[in-house]
Amino acid sequence: MTREGLILKIDCPDRPGLVARIAGYVSDHEGNLVEFNQFTDTANQKFFARLEVDTSGLDVETDDFVSGFGTLGRALEARWHFRRLPYRMRTAVLVTRTDHCLNEILWRAQLGEVPVDITSIIGNREDCGPIAEKAGIPFHLVEIGEDREPGFRKIEKLLQEQSVDLVVLARFMQVVPGWLCGSYEGRMINIHHSFLPAFAGANPYRKAFERGVKLIGAPCHYVTEDLDAGPIIDQEVERVQHYHSVHDLIRLGRDCERSALAKGIRYHVHDRIILDGHRAIVFPD
């Protein structure tokens, strides 16, 4: 990423000359286009694009550049969003017992692959507390009982107090209520194995093993009120061989989950996703 710049995401009805008009606006103000990714949905006549603009040479203030784009945006009947570079996204991670996805997030953040500030790790079990302590990140135990409302209200309060921009469910084994999904629409990411709905419930890997499945994988998606039916960001798949045991399936599943979640977070925090109804338009890097 450039030290000083902007990311622009835009979608609008498709029409001739869109690329020229958008690029022309940047050029007219002496901005430098570092990246211009576009996609045209011909079936629905919609245009999607992600731009990265180096603003160091602008002939106007950055605020004026952003506000001035409104005239063009409205003329194109567009939705658009600017993000200043550099930035760091305030992120909370929700966990239960399993820690492989949490460790993957912490590792990627430590490497600097994703611009996030992990505000806290919130667990409905104590298992991941030592990992949070070792990483120097606050850990909040929020037990969720048969009446789930009080627990999720506590989680909501924590997220609000921490001004969280992104919530990551890193194998958080609780169904998030609709009202909380709505509060973080397009800002809550989940990961799970690909055996749903065929092998739901306990021991899905053993059930899949007994059925002789040949593929195993994991989807990373945005969370909606419809359980595990939100827009898919990324999916990873591995082939299962006849000699693989249940433990091998679990190992392969963990690898898929870690990879898909890491990519999903990366695409989100780098503003490489535009939501279009039930779909996520993704511009990979």
Q: Which residues are catalytic?
A: 228
Omega before residue 197 within 30° of 0, cis:
yes
Structure-token pair, residue 99: 């820690």
What is the number of other CB atoms lying within 10 angstroms of the CB of residue 20? 10
CA–CA dist 84, 65 (Å, integer): 12
Angstrom CA distances, 211 to 6, 34, 242, stand at: 50, 49, 12
Angstrom CA distances, 255 to 65, 100, 282, stand at: 43, 9, 22
CA–CA dist 195, 197 (Å, integer): 6
